[in-house]
Structure 1
Amino acid sequence: MARELKTPSGPAVDPEAAARAVFGVLAKKVSEGELQGTLGLLPKELKELWPKA
């Protein structure tokens, strides 16, 4: 994974922090059944970033 994500304006963003933030929101807003289906499609490296319950 890249060490930083470039943004059109503003500072670069840490990709791991960005992924964790997105996953955190999804974990709160998406049903358990939908999450399990989605998690099953993710590569191991991304699954490891998923918030632990």
Structure 2
Amino acid sequence: MKREKVTFETEPEIKAALETWAREEDRSVGSLLRRIVEQAAQERRAAAASRGVA
């Protein structure tokens, strides 16, 4: 599966919190963010489908 890169900026405190969270789950920050974004996108699609929005 081909993956696209996404870059964004955030405050140092958020980055530090993400690094801690990722370390606690024994994963990289990138892997953690991918899981968070994929889950949010899936929830958004499900919500749209329940409203009948394509």
- TM-score, normalising length from structure 1? 0.36
**Between structures 1 and 2, the one with greater helix share:** 2
Q: Between Structure 1 and Structure 2, whose CA radius of gyration is higher?
A: 2
**TM-score in terms of structure 2 length:** 0.36
> Which of 1 and 2 has higher RCO (CA within 8 Å, sep 6+)?
1
